[in-house]
């Protein structure tokens, strides 16, 4: 069995020299443990943060140890009565073909009703992030205008669709003409723009006009930086900004400047709140019920970029995702099923 280890901390953009794919022996599960053959694993932007030494809300990856992250797989050996062989589980020990998981830290998932990849994406923490950010943090109401950045990505594509399902006007930004077309033609966004196409303040203002919107009520921020400042400029009174991510800054080697127009937050009585999905797990029953309903009715579809070729492709898939090569949730298939 093989696993990806971090061997050097990246400075700026990560490179192939920062990691190694290492063969390891497959252990036997001890009491309360199960051995899981991972079928799919997730590569996510927050992993870039864990490659740095700086402490954040989550432990940095240790050098010379396997990296971790969400995965879904089948129990192939079990020393726990609750999870017999043949069970399917979601857990946190991705980046490896076979994982020795404590049964208490593995969560059974339904792979008959839903493809394993959905438990990483739209039905997993990705979907919950969009749901918690829009509905709890930003208190989204039907009829409001929502702006979503990185809108063609995993969290973004889900946020766009939830906002549409709630009867909102939705503007999205993304990094290519294909993604812009995907947002308006496939996901129902009312207007979208490629943030490379000029000054974001002009692109955003034009997109709002195309959508017939007077301004933004809710900004779901995945990228920070220039797009955040421009969104503040276009917020309506009593608008809400859910700070979900700041991917435009993750490879920065110097402190990044903040928005220069925070005074508008006072004048327009805006609210801006950062959140971590892991602090909103109490929403899961509501989220899973609503999302299963939206998936079954066709109001929301799962959008995925599936990377095939097994464990060797996990690192290239991570780099490609950071660079915007994905549409929707990036899922690495480890079994090529």
Nearer to ligand NDP, 32 or 60 (CB): 60
Distance CA 182, CA 178 (A): 6
Nearer to ligand NDP, 7 or 177 (CB): 177
Residue 174: how many other CB atoms lie within 10 Å: 28
Would you call 41 helix, strand, or coil by DSSP?
strand
Binding stretches for ligand NDP (CB under 6 A):
44-46, 126, 129, 150, 152-156, 174-176, 179, 222-223, 244-245, 247-248, 275-277, 321-322, 324, 326, 330
Token pair 């593995």 is found at 106
Q: Could you say which DSSP state residue 140 is in?
A: -
- Contact yes or no for 244/158 (Cβ under 8 A): no
CA distances from 291 to 7, 114, 126, 156, 163 (A): 39, 12, 12, 15, 13
CB of 159 to ligand NDP, least distance (A): 9
Residue closer to ligand NDP, measured from CB, 178 or 237: 178
Cα–Cα distance, 233 to 264 (Å, whole number): 7
| C-beta of 278 vs 312, nearer to ligand NDP | 278
Query: Cβ distance 120 to 72 under 8 Å?
Result: yes
Query: Tokens 């208190």 identify what position?
Result: 139
Give min distance, CB of 228 to ligand NDP, in A. Answer: 11
Detail the DSSP E strand segments found in 246-307: 271-274, 304-307
Considering the complex, state which of residue 213 and residue 228 has its C-beta at the smaller distance from ligand NDP.
Answer: 228
In whole angstroms, how close is the CB of 76 to ligand NDP at the nearest point? 28
Min separation Cβ 176 and ligand NDP, Å: 6
Beta bridge partners of residue 72, listed in sequence order: 40, 90
**Which H or E run contains 39?**
strand 33-42
User: From CA 236, how far away is CA 265, in angstroms rounded?
Assistant: 10
User: Residue 130 Cβ, how far from ligand NDP at the closest point, in Å?
Assistant: 8
User: In whole angstroms, how close is the CB of 121 to ligand NDP at the nearest point?
Assistant: 9
The least CB distance from residue 324 to ligand NDP, in Å, is: 3
Q: Which is nearer to ligand NDP, 241 or 322 (CB)?
A: 322
* Closest CB to ligand NDP among residues 109, 183: 183
CB of 45 closer than 8 Å to CB of 129: no
The distance of closest approach from Cβ of residue 157 to ligand NDP in the complex, given in angstroms and rounded to an integer, is 8
- Taking a C-beta distance cutoff of 8 angstroms, is the pair 3, 24 a contact? yes
Q: Is the Cβ of residue 150 or residue 203 nearer to ligand NDP in the bound state?
A: 150
């Amino acid at each position: 069995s093989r696993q990806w280890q971090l061997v050097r901390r990246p400075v700026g953009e990560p490179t192939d020299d920062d990691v190694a794919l290492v063969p390891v022996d497959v252990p036997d599960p001890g009491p309360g443990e199960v051995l899981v053959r991972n079928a799919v694993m997730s590569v996510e932007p927050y992993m870039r943060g864990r490659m740095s030494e700086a402490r954040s809300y989550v432990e940095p990856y240790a050098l010379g140890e396997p990296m971790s992250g969400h995965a879904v797989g089948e129990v192939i050996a079990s020393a726990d009565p609750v999870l017999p062989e043949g069970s399917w589980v979601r857990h946190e020990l991705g980046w490896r073909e076979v994982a020795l998981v404590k049964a208490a830290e593995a969560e059974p998932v339904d792979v008959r009703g839903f493809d394993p990849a959905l438990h990483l994406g739209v039905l997993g923490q990705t979907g919950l992030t969009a749901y918690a950010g829009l509905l709890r943090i930003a208190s989204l109401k039907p009829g409001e205008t929502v702006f979503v950045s990185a809108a063609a990505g995993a969290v973004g594509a889900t946020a766009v669709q939830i906002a549409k399902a709630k009867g909102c006007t939705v503007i999205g930004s993304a990094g290519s003409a294909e993604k812009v077309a995907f947002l308006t033609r496939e996901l129902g966004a009312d207007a979208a723009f490629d943030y490379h196409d000029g000054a974001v303040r002009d692109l955003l203002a034009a997109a709002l006009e195309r959508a017939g919107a007077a301004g933004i009520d809710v900004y779901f921020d995945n990228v920070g930086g220039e797009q955040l400042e421009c969104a503040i400029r276009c917020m309506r009174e009593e608008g809400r900004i859910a700070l979900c991510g700041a991917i435009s800054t993750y490879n920065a080697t110097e402190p990044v400047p903040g928005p220069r127009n925070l005074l508008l937050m006072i004048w327009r009585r805006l609210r801006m709140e950062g959140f971590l999905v892991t602090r909103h797990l109490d929403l899961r029953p509501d989220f899973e019920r609503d999302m299963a309903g939206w998936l079954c009715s066709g109001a929301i579809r799962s959008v995925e970029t599936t990377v095939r070729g097994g464990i060797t492709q996990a690192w290239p898939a991570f780099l490609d995702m950071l660079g915007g090569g994905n549409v929707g949730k990036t899922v690495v298939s480890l079994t090529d099923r």
